[in-house]
Structure 1
Amino acid sequence: IVLSFVILLDLKIQVILKSMLQMSLESFEHYKIVKSVKPVVLICYTALGYRMNCVKELARTIVSIIPSIKYHLASFSYVFTKLPKEQKDYMHSLVKDTWLSVKDEPDEGFKAILGDIVKKTRKGVIAPNLVKDSPDILLEELSDTKNFIQEPREVFQPFVSESSKEAVQMQAQKHKEKIWLAYQIGDYKLANTKLDELTDLNNVLKLPTIENEYNGCVRKLTNEWNKKSENAKSMFNKRIASPYPISKDDMLIYQKVVNELVSVNELRNHLKDAICGDSLVQNINEQMYYLIHSIENQKEEDESALQIHLDKIAQVQAYFPNFRSSYNGVCQKLKKKNRKLCG
């Protein structure tokens, strides 16, 4: 079965491109699944431009999308819209004059497109009344797969006109805002998805504006990620080193940060310089070693300080069960010394 896909290239192509970008280039994804494509160029009479300048611009755009255009002209059809009946007979000569005016142009593909329009309007133009006429005849003509472009993913390439680059930048900025908002509310999955989309967009269009927005976003998220990690680590270490007991609230705060950063490690595919969430777990290990060492070297008569160290280990193992063996080990050592401090 031949799967066909009709491309509509209007003179207002930047509008189509803007919509396409807002859908994260979903249109280009079609080329990965379709087998053949029929390019249908819509030329609006009211937007021909002075001396057909808009048609010339359209021709250059098509060449940018299909660099090997000369080998695929047989697949193209040109449909004129909003064309008054009295102008139908003159359209061929108008296009021909436009083609002759650019014969000295070095761009062969550009001239080939205009020449193809001349050729295919010689016997008349396709200019249906899109409101009144039945679409059956036009669709039957356009759906003939005989001259479709085969394997379009090898023929078409993404293109953004100068007038559409503003739309690209706006879309990249919107993605950046959504990523930051998602990160702030803890929706790390959405943040990662939007970063993936920005990466895909940049891989397709390769525009500096997209890359700059992505890099700026990554830097900001990395700074926030590392700040959160370092703040949590600093607070926890101060509480461990303090001569006073560590509270449940302190442990809950640290546990929350650890769980957040460990559970969203996929974000680190983008945040290459972000501190690994597992480093917070490693920090617990280091602080437990400090407490155990302090207990082992604590003077026997300073039982209150010894109890505080032991209670801290008990609190840690209550919120991080993987460290329960450390608590049990200390209790066993104290038991051998006839110290009854463990609950």
Structure 2
Amino acid sequence: MRHHQFFADPDADPAYTLVGKLDVATSSEGELELEEEFDTMVQARSERPSSSENQPSSDTSPIDYFDSEDLSASMVLPYLDTEVVEGAIYRPQVGYLRPRELAKEFNNRAKANGATFNEHSKVEEIRTTNDRATGLVVDGKSIDADEVICAAGPWNPKIARSIGVELPVKHTLAPVLKLEPATSRQYALPWITHHESGFSIRRNIDGTVLMTHHPVGGYDVATEYDPTDISETVPDDIRKHGLETLERLLPATENAEIVDEWVGIRSSTPDQNPVVGWTSLKGFSIAAFSTSGIQLSPATGKVIAAQLVDNDPTSYYDGLSITRFKEYDDWR
């Protein structure tokens, strides 16, 4: 498979680590929601057409559902308090990597195929003429462009708005606490997500634990932040709730020391799927994700290339175009 070949011969070292992902519910209501989520995923997979030249491949990665008793009997989880778990969804083919190294890998391969990069350069303006994007102003220098593609992460809404393009993209905070348990634990754990609170826990190879938070409610509770104004300190309420959740699920981490912390900004769309491709302004395309940009970037590049080079909307158009949202149905 191509994505396996990509990791098999890298110039950089993304250091992909396969750990599996365990979504756990600790209430009867949460258990019911996880069961419904699992049933929906299974049903969706059964309804997808088989892969073909013109059709995206179906997701066939393994997925299982466990109630509390089955979880204890089926998986070895010595540090997880399974007594508080009511139900869980397990995905064995989930892992993590170093995103900066993966970005370097993409850059290196693009450069090898003729792409050029202007690093540490500030884009000050997107030039437009007669309702079309015609270029950029970079560090005070005007640069002509046949097409402009905006893939600016949390800056996407602000940049697009500057040329009259409104995006259905908002933000949530992405706080991270790095903890060092008082007692070294050698046994590996899957990536654990608490369904009710949105906290995720992941053990690193060096024994430290990363705890992140994805607010429950997604787009409905999202807002818009200025990335330049975000503090690197995790808010006190999130810190307190996160540590309480961690100690409840993994009692062995009690009294763990916080050794680092930082806060990012996560983009969010109404349906949690990316907004990719043409916009209402000719010559201006968008790549706006909903938390999964690094994973979907290769496919996104192919979609945008097909649109700009071949004027082909691609078979992904209905699922990725902004026109899928009724308030944008006057777009191309």
TM-score bracket, normalised by the shorter chain, equals under 0.3
Q: Compute the TM-score of the two structures, normalised by the length of structure 2.
A: 0.22
Q: Compute the TM-score of the two structures, normalised by the length of structure 1.
A: 0.21
More helix by share: 1
More strand by share: 2
Structure with higher RCO (Cα < 8 A, 6+ apart): 2
